[in-house]
A and B are shown apart, each in its own frame.
Chain A
Amino acid sequence: MPSLWITNARVIDPASKRDAVGDVFIRDGKFAASLSAADKKRAKKIDGKGLVACPGLVDIHVHFREPGQTHKETIATGSRAAAAGGFTTVVCMPNTSPPADNAGTIQFIQDAVERDAVVKVLPTGCITVGMKGQALAPIGSLKRAGVVAITDDGDCVQSNELMRRAIEYAKMFDLPVMDHCQDASMTQGAVMNEGVMSTRLGLRGWPNAAEDLIVARNVVLSEYTGGHIHCQHISSKFSIDIIRRAKSRGARITAEATPHHIALTDDALATYDTHFKMNPPLRTEDDRLAIIEGLRDGTLDCIGTDHAPHTDYEKDKEFDYAPNGILGLETALPVCLDVLVRRSKFKLPHLIDLMTRRAANILKLPAGTLAPGAAADLCLFDPAEKWKYDAKAGFSKSSNSPWTGQTMTGRVKVTIVDGRVVFQNGKIL
């Protein structure tokens, strides 16, 4: 493997607080402080002028649909979409078909990753058997098979007793429990945020209270058991307040926000476009601004895309009948650059931190740093390049994105995984 020498980039490494124009060196798949003269001569040079070099992005919330729903996405296509979006580590959710609730399915996923993935794809396992919320999955075996967390993402565990036991049990293995916070009894048939818009459109509302209740439940159980709960894709202002207070007491609660919840509101649903249908739903401008503030003050720990591919024909339905979810990996960086850096005045290193080191820290992943000796996972992007996004031309197998046709600012140029260039100038290598 040739050494790599990235020259004259704006190097941003939140872990070391580095933010300066300079070079990045990679040797034997790891970052290096420098290269010997001989190495420099042989190294492959990448001109970083005008570009930002940062740790490879980390997304702890994606759906790659394998096994069982490979018409939507596969580990091969999903990992290529990740690489194109600058992501070098992604954590995939276990709501596959069958659900990843046993070591065999995890091994199947690991084999597919080994064979097909171009970035690091880490599996999670289910909290409960079949994600049915009735009995604990074999969490110890899942841990041994290599899961980095457990979650019933999409089907929040409703029983407080079962959730308590799951947290206690998982704590023994130092496994975080990731939770999609939704009280099912309050959201029967719900397809969008409950409010003025749902009332106007005649669609069944998903009240933010249904998220707030479970976030509060998780805070209580985390503090009671001492276990770590990660609240996924927070969408409600009230939930952020609950998390902020819990963190001030030192609770082991972490939380993420999606690019779509910081960019869009339920006003986007006026035309019943199913590309704006997701769970949790888009909420109000008040909620959107609160999520941004939550990211600013650290109440929310990271960006997670909830990349959720569905085919055109599945999304092309009456709003009530279309599945939840949108693509996220190939648009996350430009959307966050626009919403957080340009419009909300976050410093660029702060955004990079939210998309790298802090995301990795939640699951204690060895990623999100440019430190010498660390795995050479890197993202090189042009923060100013304007380009028109077309989901159909992207690397995901599906194209369910609300951003198709829009002009994006900021484009990933090179993605490097373990010192190997996997994506460069629009192509997977």
Chain B
Amino acid sequence: MPWTRRHLLTIEQLSREEIEQIHATAAAFKRILGRSVKKVPALRGKTIVNLFLEPSTRTRMAFDMAAKRLSADVIAVEGSSSSTTKGETLRDTAQNIQALQADMIVIRHAAAGSPLYLSRILDIPVINAGDGAHEHPTQGLLDTFTMLEHLGSLQGRKVVILGDILFSRVARSNIHALTKLGANVTLVGPATLVPHWFTGMGVNVSYDLRSALADAEVVMLLRIQHERQTSSHFPSLGEYTSMFGLNKTRAGWLHPKAIIMHPGPINRGVEIDSELADGDRSVILEQVTNGIAVRMAVLYLCSGGQPETVAAGSGQ
């Protein structure tokens, strides 16, 4: 099946086959990244604009790295330096970027739905690098890619997402990716941050950490996002840690071979014990590395590349 999408806006709209195509393409790029010469000419002559209207370190660097590994030229536009602070609308900003003949836009924005909005305005591909509390599709793709490397398959496997789900785009993208790939997903955290509405997305919601973690093969921790909470959703970080922080004892409730994930940035001592974050069950830094290959795959496919041509067409 050929890849036909020009935009990557959500995981919700992807089929299981499309997710698997991205994963397969990412695996091919990951092999290339293992070579001494890591760069391929696939997007030579193309210009990608990273329009980051909300702060980001990891995602912006990974997209930057991925584009450069594909030989694309990259322009970074950040919220503080852009015209949006001068009152320009997103439509005008984006149309100017297109008029400057960029070939693709990667957008990070605080408002949910803004990548979809851009995709309806622009003729060039739009890649969602995180929109509000909606989706962060490349994160969901790299997380499931990492899980598959360790578990082989996700069919019927228990995956727990723990923490601030309400405000998390990472959680939503993972929920869509994991359910499409057949995993059994449980969300756990304070009731104020894990509303029951999520059961409408085909996952379990639990407020009992022990039973939620029991036999889970993956636990994904999410950061408590103080900056998005307009009112008190829990009493204190200390109480959060005492009720829901992952420590050695609680990690013992997991499946013996379980992996521990975190999309970053980590608050050591809050949602996870420092020791566990650095321990041998932690795959947190593997996630970061895989983020480059997955984003290479996404940029490549949405520029018109096909999964099967990676090794042949874009190698040395």
Query: A interface vs B, CB < 8 Å?
Result: 185, 188-189, 194-196, 198-204, 271-272, 313, 316-321
Can you pick out 26 interface pairs between chain A and chain B where the beta carbons lie within 8 Å of each other? A185-B231, A188-B230, A188-B231, A189-B230, A196-B201, A199-B197, A199-B200, A199-B201, A200-B12, A200-B172, A201-B134, A202-B132, A202-B133, A202-B134, A202-B169, A203-B134, A271-B113, A272-B117, A316-B91, A317-B89, A317-B90, A318-B111, A319-B111, A319-B113, A320-B110, A321-B111
Does B240 belong to the interface (CB within 8 Å)? Answer: no
Contacts of A271 in B (CB 8 A): 113, 116
Tell me whether A200 and B200 are in contact (CB under 8 A): yes
Return B225 CB to nearest CB of chain A, in Å: 12
Tell me whether B131 and A313 are in contact (CB under 8 A): no
Contacts of A202 in B (CB 8 A): 112, 131-135, 169, 172
With A and B bound together, what is the CA distance between A317 and B89 in angstroms? 7
Contacts of B200 in A (CB 8 A): 196, 199-200
Return B165 CB to nearest CB of chain A, in Å: 9
With A and B bound together, what is the CA distance between A319 and B113 in angstroms? 7
Return B236 CB to nearest CB of chain A, in Å: 20
Tell me whether B112 and A195 are in contact (CB under 8 A): no
Query: B interface vs A, CB < 8 Å?
Result: 12, 89-91, 109-114, 116-117, 131-135, 169, 172, 195, 197-198, 200-201, 230-231
User: Given A188-B230, A202-B135: A320 and B198 within 8 A (CB)?
Assistant: no
Return B202 CB to nearest CB of chain A, in Å: 11
With A and B bound together, what is the CA distance between A316 and B91 in angstroms? 8
Contacts of A198 in B (CB 8 A): 197
Closest to B199 in A: A196
With A and B bound together, what is the CA distance between A186 and B200 in angstroms? 22
A-B complex: 7 closest residue pairs judged by Cβ atoms: A202-B134, A272-B113, A318-B111, A196-B200, A202-B133, A199-B197, A202-B112
Return A284 CB to nearest CB of chain B, in Å: 11
Determine which of B114, B201, B231 lies in contact with A318 in the assembled complex, contact meaning CB atoms within 8 Å: B114
With A and B bound together, what is the CA distance between A317 and B135 in angstroms? 19
With A and B bound together, what is the CA distance between A14 and B172 in angstroms? 52
Contacts of A195 in B (CB 8 A): 197
With A and B bound together, what is the CA distance between A271 and B112 in angstroms? 11
User: Given A319-B112, A320-B112: A199 and B195 within 8 A (CB)?
Assistant: yes
Tell me whether A318 and B109 are in contact (CB under 8 A): yes
Return A174 CB to nearest CB of chain B, in Å: 40
Contacts of B198 in A (CB 8 A): 199
Contacts of B131 in A (CB 8 A): 202
Contacts of A200 in B (CB 8 A): 12, 172, 200-201
Closest to A199 in B: B197
Tell me whether A272 and B112 are in contact (CB under 8 A): yes
Contacts of A313 in B (CB 8 A): 89
Contacts of B89 in A (CB 8 A): 313, 316-317
Closest to A314 in B: B89
With A and B bound together, what is the CA distance between A199 and B176 in angstroms? 13
Tell me whether B133 and A318 are in contact (CB under 8 A): no
Closest to B120 in A: A271
Closest to B131 in A: A202
